[in-house]
A and B are shown apart, each in its own frame.
Chain A
Amino acid sequence: NAGVMQNPRHLVRRRGQEARLRCSPMKGHSHVYWYRQLPEEGLKFMVYLQKENIIDESGMPKERFSAEFPKEGPSILRIQQVVRGDSAAYFCASSPPGPRGNSPLHFGNGTRLTVT
């Protein structure tokens, strides 16, 4: 059973370009979460999605960032017009459907975004 798959593992973008990060959850999981990890900082929640729905995006910057989890295909975190401060590791996690609070999160190995 494949785990959470993220790609690319490393992404380099120049300032002003767009970055697209993809995440395929574990088989059978319908809940996807995106977290950002800056050097020397903890993981910060960004957004929680279910298929075709954004449930909570309270951790997403108001501008330039968007996320989706379509009916078919992976979840996408999109960063438009990247700036150097967007350089970080972006982790996706998934969990199965059902009551929350009992399920651990299954994380992918992240996409390391570098903005030059």
Chain B
Amino acid sequence: SQKIEQNSEALNIQEGKTATLTCNYTNYSPAYLQWYRQDPGRGPVFLLLIRENEKEKRKERLKVTFDTTLKQSLFHITASQPADSATYLCALGDTGFQKLVFGTGTRLLVSP
């Protein structure tokens, strides 16, 4: 069955450093991958989408890579800030409608 793995342990980093979160998947060939941010008690908020034929995508301080050979995506936040503290979810999808398969998320804590 399809499986998405995100580091279940919280990632603690200092303000100003680059945070790198990992998303690995098996038994799946997604057409695209999305990253979302979720704060406690709130719904996920879309951050970035990257397609299978794209290696890298950037948006302001965010960067996503997608390696379909390794079946892995890396999500980077540069110059991290305490306000970046949240849980980050990766989600995989096929062409067609948006039946996204979500990972369990990694909690990021940025200390001042």
Contact = CB atoms under 8 A, between A and B. Distances in A.
A41 B43 contact: no
A107 B105 CA distance: 16
Contact of A100 (B36, B44, B95): B95
Contacts, number: 68
A110 B101 CA distance: 18
Nearest to A94: B98
Interface string B31-68: 11010100001111110010000000000000000000
Interface in B1-57: 4, 31-32, 34, 36, 41-46, 49
Contacts of B98: 31, 33, 48, 93, 95, 100-101, 103, 105
Given A41-B104, A43-B102, A104 B46 contact: yes
A40 interface: yes
A80 to B, nearest CB: 24
A91 B31 contact: no
Interface in B83-103: 89, 91, 93-103
Interface in A73-116: 91, 93, 95, 100-110
Given A58-B99, A100-B96, 14 more contacts: A31-B97, A33-B99, A40-B104, A42-B102, A45-B99, A48-B98, A93-B98, A100-B95, A100-B98, A101-B96, A101-B98, A105-B34, A105-B100, A109-B43
Given A42-B104, A43-B102, A101 B93 contact: yes
Nearest to A44: B102
A105 B46 contact: yes
A4 interface: yes
B97 A55 contact: yes
Interface string A36-80: 000011111100100000011010000000000000000000000
B31 A101 contact: yes
A34 to B, nearest CB: 11
